[in-house]
A = this chain, B = another copy of it.
Amino acid sequence: MTREMERTELIAREGIRDLLGRYTWAGDTGRVADVADCFTTDGVLDLGDHGGVLEGREAIADELAAVVARAAGAGEAPSPVNHHVSSIAITMADPTSATVRSYFAVHTDQGLDHWGRYRDDVVMDPSDGHWRFARRTVRVTGFAPGSRFAPAS
C-alpha cells in the first residue's frame, strides 16, 4: 500500500465512523433532517419486519417525521432512546465505498429494550466529502419483555 493509499483509507475510515456517530445521535435526539442527510439521495433504509424498506432520502424523512408526529399526537412525552453502537467492522471495497457491520443495543429509561445489528453499504459523496448510507439494513435480534418497541402480538 502506498502512503497515498494509506492516507486516503485513514480518512475514509474516520469519515465512516463519523457517519455512524452522526446517525445515532441525530436519530436519538429526533433530528429528522439530519438523519435523512446521512443517506444518499436514493439511499435505502431497510427495517425488515419492523418498518419495511424505505427508498430514497425523502421517503426516509417522511416516515421519520410521521413517527415523531404520531408520538406527539398521542401526547407521549419524549423519552430517552439510546442506541449503543459497538463492534464496528469496516471493509473497504474501494477508496469511496465500503461495507460496515456493527451491533446496536437500545437502552431506554427502563433498561435494555431491543438489540441487533446493522449492515451498511456506505459511499463517499464527492459533493461534500461526507460518507453516506447507500443502504442501511437493520435487523433486530431480540426484544426485552415489556419492550416499548416490540411488535404487537
Seen from chain A, the residues whose Cβ lies within 8 Å of a Cβ on chain B are: 1, 3, 6-7, 9-11, 13-14, 17-18, 20-22, 24-25, 80, 82-90, 101, 103, 105, 107-112, 115-117, 129, 141-142, 144
Contact = CB atoms under 8 A, between A and B. Distances in A.
A107 B25 contact: no
Given A10-B10, A21-B101, A82-B103, 15 more contacts: A1-B129, A6-B11, A10-B11, A13-B14, A18-B90, A24-B89, A25-B87, A80-B141, A83-B103, A84-B84, A86-B86, A107-B142, A111-B112, A111-B115, A111-B142
A137 B18 CA distance: 21
Given A109-B142, A141-B82, A142-B110, A88 B10 contact: no
